[in-house]
Amino acid sequence: MRKRMSWMMAVLAAAALASGCSGGETADTAGSSADTASTEEGGSQEAAPAGDATEVIFWSSMSGGMGETLDKIVSDYNASQDAVHVTVEFQGNYYDMAAKLQAAVTSGEIPHVAQLEMGRTKMFADYGVLQDMTDLAAEEGLDLSMFYPGLMNSCDWGEGVYALPFNRSTPMFYYNKDMFTEVGLDPEDPPETWDELQEYAAQLSIPDERWGFEMPIDAWFYEAFIMESDGRILNDDETDIAFNNETGTKPLELWKNMISEGIMKAPPGKEYNSYEAARSDFAAGITGMIVTSSGDLGTLSASCDFNIGTCFLPKNTRFGVPTGGANVVMMAGHEEDASATMDFLKYLTSPDVSAYWASQTGYLPSSQAAADSDVYQEYISANDNAKTALEQMEYTDIPRPVNENYPQIHSEIMMTEIQRCIEEPDYTPEEAVQAISDQTRALLGS
């Protein structure tokens, strides 16, 4: 049953204070989903005189080049008609966005549209602060069936449509083709399995100078490695994790062993800092292979002066990746502007705009129609590396949990325990996974 608004506001106020005091998160990748969302200034538009137009405020987490692309999309929309004017306001990374939305709910100064990390959608919906867009989409002629099912499971879980997919991504494997050639590896034959990953990493490594592999020790990638053993994150009745077994311990064993052997570099820092470190090390030639977000393709292509290759994440028993990134949501409380807001969202998520956004940033097109568009087809025909994320969508069949408590399980419990396991030599994978299970059961009340 939906919680009452007054009670919800008190809960979110406390959460906003806790989140605001945590500090430290400064760059890329959404805590529970890993993506490029910088805290640098930019990616915002000054409000323009709108005349009789309905003013719609759009809170964004995009800055830098991505912010500029988003600004162009919004400017094009504003120029295309005179009934609605959209103003983009940059709010920082996904952690910042969640905290600011929570604070805005308590103050009543809420935007019309927000870019919300996909794992937090159900939590905000259950607190009653998001608008169910099912009827509005139908009224505005937005065909919800066009979106990829693998992206919609965090938008519509059977209780209404509370989000639309926007800057969505998967984890992706990047490698230095020139370095492969240097050590005698075939640059067109990247590692396909965990065993090959270790073999290639060893061949690429130079003791204390260069590491074959690097990836942020992040719960998003941990999810991917669980899925590569055909594992699930929560059990069927959502009372405990489902990986308190080899599917949970084997990824940690793999990482600990590769680090101890000197063939995997553990990046410094946590959360977003670790993504920046991984990208920088790869661009500098300090590492030869990395795992990061598919949304980093544009950044890496621009910053690396060598030939880059991309491929599926190496598998254990099967390929598998979670989706990540952010959806766009309509905030409740602006009912009088709902039609105008939906008109903008229909434009923002349309196949042509989604294709343009994907081609400029490296994020996934949100629908098959976008993927089939001339804009996107021209993009991938000129950039083979961009095909990987779209082809990898075939292996997003194991969904991430849609549970209001999962953001805390993911960003606090899982993240803390897997990082502790990697950082402390005597803390075993079995202890880490058991601790995740114990804390998850306590949180879920089982």
Regarding whether 301 and 328 lie in a shared domain, the answer is no
- At 34 the pLDDT is 41
Helix 246-260 × helix 219-227 angle, to 10°: 120
Q: Are residues 226 and 126 in the same domain?
A: no
| pLDDT tens digits, one per residue of 347-363 | 999 999 999 999 998 89
Task: Determine, yes or no, domain membership for 188.
Answer: yes
Residues 137 and 263 in one domain: no
| Contact between residue 194 and residue 157 where contact means Cβ atoms under 8 Å apart | no
| Mean pLDDT of the chain, nearest integer | 88
CA count, 13 A, side-chain hemisphere, 389: 33
Task: For residue 114, report the phi and psi dihedrals to the nearest 5 degrees.
Answer: -140, 150
Residue 1, pLDDT above cutoff 60: no
The pLDDT value given to residue 380: 92
Is residue 413 domain-shared with residue 271, that is, in the same domain? yes
Q: What is the pTM of this model?
A: 0.84
What are the pLDDT digits (tens) for 255-293?
999 999 999 998 765 555 788 899 999 999 999 999 999
Give 426-430's long-range contacts (Cβ < 8 A, gap of 24+): 429/248, 429/249, 429/250, 429/252, 429/253, 429/256, 430/249
Q: Count of domains in the chain? A: 2
In this prediction, what percent of the chain has a pLDDT beyond 90?
73
Q: Work out the number of other CB atoms within 10 angstroms of the CB of residue 10.
A: 11
pLDDT of residue 282: 97
Q: Are residues 182 and 232 in the same domain?
A: yes
- R_g of the chain, CA atoms, integer Å: 21
Q: Are residues 189 and 46 in the same domain?
A: no
Residues 245 and 339 occupy one common structural domain: no
Residue 398 lies in a domain: no
pLDDT in tens, 373-391: 999 999 999 999 999 998 9
User: Measuring CA to CA, how many Å separate 167 from each of 164, 190, 307?
Assistant: 10, 27, 26
Together in a domain, 34 and 120: yes
Residue 162 shares a structural domain with residue 17: yes
- Inter-residue contact 289 to 196 (CB < 8 Å): no
158, amino acid identity = G
Confirm whether 230 is domain-assigned: yes
* pLDDT at res. 445: 84
Q: What is the pLDDT of residues 251-265, one digit of tens each?
A: 999 999 999 999 999
Q: Determine, yes or no, domain membership for 394.
A: no
Average pLDDT over residues 60-78: 94
Cβ-Cβ contacts under 8 Å for 287 (sequence gap 6 or more): 210, 211, 212, 213, 214, 265, 278, 281
Span 384-404, mean pLDDT? 90
- Whether 310 is in a domain gets the answer yes
130-188 residue pLDDT tens: 999 999 999 999 999 999 988 998 999 999 999 999 999 999 999 999 999 999 999 99
Q: How far apart are CA 209 and CA 189, in angstroms?
A: 24
- Enclosing domain of residue 240: 171-321+405-444
Across the range 17-45, mean pLDDT stands at 39
Instruction: Indicate if 108 and 191 belong to the same structural domain.
Output: no
Q: Mind listing the pLDDT tens digit for each residue in 41-56?
A: 455 555 555 578 999 9
What is the H or E stretch that residue 39 is in?
Answer: none
Contact between residue 321 and residue 225 where contact means Cβ atoms under 8 Å apart = no
Residues 6 or more apart whose CB falls under 8 angstroms from that of 43 comprise 60, 62, 63, 64, 66, 67, 68, 70, 71, 88, 90
**Tell me, what CATH number does 123's domain have?**
3.40.190.10
Same domain as 91, residue 11: yes
